[in-house]
Amino acid sequence: MAIIDRNGMLQASSLDKNVKSIDLSDRKHFLVHKTSGVDVSYLSQPLVGRVSKVLTAQFTRPIFDGRGDFNGVVVVSLNFDYLQKLLLEQNGTSQHNVAVFASSPPGLGGDKRQVATPLIALSGIAQPNGPLKLSSAATWEQKQIGKEMALKDFGLVLRVSVPQEPFQRKLKFNLALAVVLSAMLVFGVGYYAFQMLATIQSRSRILRKLEESQIKANSANAMKSKFVSSISHELRTPLNGILGFSELIGMSDDIAEAKRYGNIVNKSATHLHQLVNTLLDLAKIEAGQMEVVKIRSDVRDLCNSVLSIHRYGVEKKGLALDVKYQSGMPATIVTDHIKLMQILNNLLSNAVKFTDEGAIFITVAFEQSQWIFSVADTGIGMSPEQVNQVFERFNNVRLDDELSSERAGAGLGMALCKDFAELLGGSIHVYSELRSGTVVKVLLPQTDDL
């Protein structure tokens, strides 16, 4: 037993009557009473006494003077030899554990256990030739079956328990056996069902593939027939012009008339040349053999080169041509300039072809790290159905039969524009309203990689 004064200094000890004053103001069993001001008992976690020099548990209670002011602490220290004799009994062959937990005693918040780790944990195994030993913290964490009792007056919870394992071993074995048998039954039924399902799915896949192959074969035959029919017509038209007018040239004695026939032959040959080149480009794209060669090109020079090709046709039809470049845009673009020029050439060609009056507007801008090339016209426009089909091959946009021959084309230009735009990492978009005009925008990413 020991007495600690209000300042935490040891004043008396039953172990040494002449003990010198020792500072215990840092001990929790002193601080808990000094700070709470409540007259309750307290049990500390095991610690080595500064007087006894052995592992002990500290039972403490505060001292108050006549005015109710805190005046010190009375300490009763119990070593674990005594606790083992008090709390554990050897009863032959059983194993049991005893633990003391801290709780909040009356005046400090209730009587429920505060923490899962016990202040004192003792584990005993009946051994004929050996004493019971103090358990480690890890021993206490094992699953236990036991009973707790709250010692409300002392702020403690006492628990006596035995391990679950001896009671659960047989139950676990029976459960494991039941699980194995159930698993075998489920596996057998599941395996049979899986085999049946796999057979059905396999047959379904085979039938589906056969149907898809049939659809693809029919589609390929239809595309082949359409291609042969369309390309035969497109090739025959300029060839007939070349043959017919070349024959008229040989028969004509008028130089002016022969010259006019020669110009028609030249236009037919140029059209035939462009058609063959377009077919070859589309074939290369489908075969994955179209190369993209990027160089740094001046944007204005590139656009002016394309405009110069169509300026005569624009002036001949009496159309206005308005070209605008966004202020502050980069002067150069890194791309395959040949393919970009083919895209712009096809778009301008369509704009001139389908515009009888009004104007054609060319706009070049740079926004959000991408180039925007826009070709707009005030021509005949397209219906929503025609817009949806504009990128289909051999698709000719015509308003009526009267304009068909006048605006004849192979129906490959827009398909080639779309393929080229995607090859360059961009996209193409068409906006149109019937009899109001069309706007086509080509979006290409900005890149410095050559």
Provide the CA 99 distance to its chain's centre, in angstroms: 51
Same domain membership, residue 188 and residue 328:
no
Same domain membership, residue 319 and residue 409:
yes
pLDDT in the model for residue 132: 33
pLDDT in the model for residue 127: 35
In order of 114, 137, 269, the CA distances from 119 in angstroms are: 11, 10, 104
* Burial of 228 from C-beta contacts in 10 A (0-12 / 13-18 / 19+): exposed
User: How does pLDDT run across 189-235, given as a tens digit for each residue?
Assistant: 888 888 888 888 888 889 888 888 888 877 766 666 666 655 665 66
DSSP category for residue 113 = B
**Tokens matching residue 173:** 């074995």
- Full residue range of the structural domain in which residue 148 is found: 88-163
Domain boundary among 40, 60, 81: 81
pLDDT in the model for residue 104: 54
Same domain membership, residue 197 and residue 305:
no
User: How does pLDDT run across 298-341, given as a tens digit for each residue?
Assistant: 999 999 988 988 888 899 899 999 999 999 999 999 999 988 98
**Tokens matching residue 166:** 């001896």
Same domain membership, residue 236 and residue 191:
yes
Using the predicted structure, report yes or no on whether residue 51 has a pLDDT greater than 60.
yes
Measured CA to CA, the distance from residue 59 to residue 76 in angstroms comes to 5
pLDDT in the model for residue 38: 84
Same domain membership, residue 307 and residue 261:
no
Mean pLDDT calculated for residue range 118-140? 44
Same domain membership, residue 115 and residue 45:
no
Domain-located, residue 106: yes
Helix (H) or strand (E) holding 178: helix 165-251
Measured CA to CA, the distance from residue 348 to residue 344 in angstroms comes to 6
**Rounded (10°) CA dihedral 162, 164, 169, 174:** 140
In order of 47, 50, 232, the CA distances from 53 in angstroms are: 9, 6, 112
Using the predicted structure, report yes or no on whether residue 260 has a pLDDT greater than 50.
yes
Same domain membership, residue 296 and residue 264:
no
Using the predicted structure, report yes or no on whether residue 102 has a pLDDT greater than 70.
no
pLDDT in the model for residue 96: 65
**Tokens matching residue 198:** 């796999």
Same domain membership, residue 210 and residue 261:
yes
Domain-located, residue 169: no
Same domain membership, residue 104 and residue 59:
no
Domain-located, residue 450: no
Same domain membership, residue 420 and residue 332:
yes
Same domain membership, residue 439 and residue 295:
yes
Dihedral pair phi/psi, residue 96, rounded to 5°: -150, 160
Structurally, the chain folds into a number of domains equal to 4
Same domain membership, residue 214 and residue 274:
yes
- In this prediction, residue 39 has a pLDDT band, given cuts at 50, 70 and 90, of confident
Domain-located, residue 170: no
User: How does pLDDT run across 171-180, given as a tens digit for each residue?
Assistant: 778 888 888 8
CATH of the domain at 77: 3.30.450.20
Given the structure tokens 């918040």, which residue do they identify? 109
Which range, 83-97, 140-154, 296-310, has the best average confidence (pLDDT)?
296-310
Using the predicted structure, report yes or no on whether residue 107 has a pLDDT greater than 60.
no
Using the predicted structure, report yes or no on whether residue 242 has a pLDDT greater than 90.
no
Greater model confidence, 93 or 286: 286
